[in-house]
């Protein structure tokens, strides 16, 4: 898609309701149930595709999505400037909360917000599993 100028004034991807349900189920089962506080699937323009949390979060998810996509895009551009394809680990550590970014494909990003009860190693493992499943769904 997107071969001609402005053919698609709309999104370059389409997700059906069934796909969205399945994606939300993956986010919940693989990440929230593993102890992640909040997880966002967003596109590179900063739109929220899916959002799951443990019911205890009150984040401003729209601002988070806008900032996360911009942050990711800025880091990605920096990588190219120093001759890297991409920086594969993108992670911000805080006192109580941490944010992990992972690229699903050229169009989507997965943002996980997690606390002290989850280690970075476990999180990365779970994120990788979730991404494999989501990519499997998107390819269908």
Start-end of H helices in the chain: 17-26, 61-81, 120-139
- Shorter beta-carbon distance to another protein: residue 47 or 119: 47
Residue 55 binding another protein, by CB under 8 A: no
Angle between helices 17-26 and 120-139 (to 10 degrees): 160
| CA 140 to the chain's CA centroid | 19
> Considering only residues 16, 55, 83, 121, which one is a binding residue for another protein as defined by CB under 8 A?
16
Binding mask 70-109 for another protein (x = CB under 8 A): x--xx--x--------------------------------
User: Least distance from C-beta 42 to another protein, angstroms?
Assistant: 9
CA distance 115 to 94: 9
In sequence order, the 6+-apart residues with CB closer than 8 A to the CB of 81 are none
- Shorter beta-carbon distance to another protein: residue 81 or 121: 81
> Considering only residues 35, 48, 79, 129, which one is a binding residue for another protein as defined by CB under 8 A?
48
Residue 55 φ/ψ region, left for φ over 0, alpha for ψ in the -120 to 50 degree band, beta for the rest:
left
User: Least distance from C-beta 1 to another protein, angstroms?
Assistant: 11
Closest CA to 135 of 100, 110, 112: 110
Using CB under 8 A, list all residues that contact another protein.
2, 5-6, 8-12, 16-17, 20-21, 43-49, 60, 62-63, 66-67, 69-70, 73-74, 77
């Amino acid at each position: 898609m997107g071969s001609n100028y402005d053919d698609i004034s709309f999104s370059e991807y389409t997700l059906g309701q069934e796909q969205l349900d399945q994606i939300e189920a993956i986010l919940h089962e693989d990440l929230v149930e593993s102890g992640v506080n909040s997880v966002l699937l967003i596109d590179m323009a900063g739109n929220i595709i899916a959002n799951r949390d443990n019911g205890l979060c009150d984040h401003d998810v729209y601002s988070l999505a806008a900032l996360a996509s911009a942050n990711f895009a800025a880091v990605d551009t920096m990588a190219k400037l120093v001759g890297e394809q991409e920086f594969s680990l993108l992670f911000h550590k805080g006192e109580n909360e941490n944010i992990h970014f992972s690229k699903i494909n050229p169009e989507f990003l997965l943002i996980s917000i997690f606390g002290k009860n989850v280690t970075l190693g476990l999180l990365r493992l779970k994120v990788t599993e979730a991404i494999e499943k989501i990519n499997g769904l998107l390819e269908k």
